[in-house]
Structure 1
Amino acid sequence: MTIPAHFSLLMWPHEAQTALKYFASEKIIVIGTQTPTSMLRDAARQHLRLVVTEFLSAALDIAAHDLRLISVIGQGIRTVVRDMDLQISTSHETGISVAAISRLGQIGVDLMRTTLPDDWQDLAGVYLGDQHTASLIATPLSLQAQRFSQYWTQLEASLKCAGLGLTEYENQIQAAYRSQLSNIRTFSINTVPEYTASLAISGTTDFA
């Protein structure tokens, strides 16, 4: 597998054939599903699990009732099919849920509506660090929401990939955290309008 500059979100079931064809030859895929804006988070999680089950059932030619999606604390979701260990990371935002599925080990995905919170400078200073905060301040106002969302989803995806919870930047640069985050690479995800998403993959992952 050649490492792409970015990944594309494939919506299920609207892009089902494209998604199935893609996963037949590639080792990582990001699928998404639309959800009612009124859907609660627990219901969105359950809906996405059903979508992932339906996708894997079709992609791997296995009965849905034979698939077991196991939630592992700090490691997302995993399932084993014919000795194939699949790692799954999920993210939810109003109107859409996404799942990154990997044949190559730990993975992280994060999605958010492209927005600039009123307290973005405080959030950036606490969680993103001085360098990203300075970059945001220097970014034209019309592009700040996109840049902030990009930085934020990269952070969240990286932490998920490493099995870590959201923590302040001063903790991220401590030795214990830094060693777990140092080998993680992030990629942008081409997603639907008004949303930003990022994917994180372990730097030791073999794409061959």
Structure 2
Amino acid sequence: MNQATVAVHRWPVSRPLLAAAPEAGPDLIVISIATPDSTLRHAARAQLRGAVREVLGLRLGSSPGAIALVSKPGQALRVDLPGHTIGLSASHEAGFSVAAIHRCGPVGVDIVRLRDEFEWQPVARDYLGMDAFERIACQAQPEQMQAFAREWTRLEACLKYLGIGLQEWSLSLAHRLGACRVSELELPAGLCGAVVYGLTDQAS
């Protein structure tokens, strides 16, 4: 299910906006940072974690250094803060990273950089299913990569929200994915992204 697009706040430019009336702020915040233009993500992850701590410090009225983030291979970034149910999710592309912070529970976010030379067809057949494959294939050739990126980031954001790993398409998986509320992200040209932070009324 699609929702309205979600703004992405450039950090640290957006600090004054996010610092204003933190308790009355939105339940969901998505930030972006400029990172090294490299596919090696160690520096990007460290930089993004620092930004997340600063944003959480603003929202919670706490020192960023007092906010512990737990990061384990293959698991979502999480806040080690008793009494809070804050959800975190992150996604990286070379030169650009985003983090979603949801005050009220799980969240999933994903971005992808558009690459015209990418052969999307076999990936779409295996992981997106034939309905999505046909939605992409029916687009004009120049629009197919954008359509694939939209479907792919929706998939990844849903999987992250649900806490399950990437797997080939199945009917049972499609039912679970269909219960997610998906919003597209407002991103710079050349990037596509999605965020999930809740289920449809029928599923919740």
Normalization by structure 2: what TM-score?
A: 0.87
**Contact 1:187–1:199 (CA under 8 A) maintained in structure 2:** yes
Amino acid corresponding to residue 64 of structure 2 in structure 1: A
Equivalent position of 2:177 in the other structure: 181
1:165-176 aligned within 5 A: 165-170=165-170, 173-174=171-172
**Contact 1:57–1:67 (CA under 8 A) maintained in structure 2:** yes
**Cα distance change, pair 167–116 in 1 and its aligned pair in 2 (3 A):** farther
**Contact 1:114–1:146 (CA under 8 A) maintained in structure 2:** yes
Equivalent position of 1:100 in the other structure: 100
Q: 1:41-86 CA distances to partner (integer Å, 9 max, x unpaired)?
A: 1221111101111121123220122111123676622225573321
Q: 1:8-54 CA distances to partner (integer Å, 9 max, x unpaired)?
A: 11110022222334854210010010012037212211111011111
Q: 1:100-151 CA distances to partner (integer Å, 9 max, x unpaired)?
A: 0001211100011023453211111111110111111110122212111110
* SS of corresponding position for 2:197: strand
Runs of 4+ residues over 4 Å off in structure 1: 72-75
**Cα distance change, pair 123–42 in 1 and its aligned pair in 2 (3 A):** same
**Contact 2:91–2:111 (CA under 8 A) maintained in structure 1:** yes
Identity %: 33
Equivalent position of 1:150 in the other structure: 150
Q: CA RMSD in A?
A: 2.4
Within 2, Cα distance between the matches of 1:131 and 1:4?
A: 20
Amino acid corresponding to residue 18 of structure 1 in structure 2: L
Shift of residue 163 of structure 1?
0.5
Residue ranges of structure 2 left out of the alignment (5+ in a row): none
**Contact 2:181–2:200 (CA under 8 A) maintained in structure 1:** no
Within 2, Cα distance between the matches of 1:178 and 1:118?
A: 24
**Contact 1:75–1:106 (CA under 8 A) maintained in structure 2:** no
Q: 1:177-207 CA distances to partner (integer Å, 9 max, x unpaired)?
A: 45643431111010122111100123168xx
Equivalent position of 2:188 in the other structure: 192
**Contact 1:116–1:149 (CA under 8 A) maintained in structure 2:** no
Equivalent position of 1:138 in the other structure: 138
Equivalent position of 1:113 in the other structure: 113
- Paired residues in the alignment total 199
Residue ranges of structure 1 left out of the alignment (5+ in a row): none
Amino acid corresponding to residue 20 of structure 1 in structure 2: A
Amino acid corresponding to residue 93 of structure 2 in structure 1: E
Equivalent position of 1:87 in the other structure: 87
Normalization by structure 1: what TM-score?
A: 0.85
Equivalent position of 1:20 in the other structure: 19
Amino acid corresponding to residue 58 of structure 2 in structure 1: A
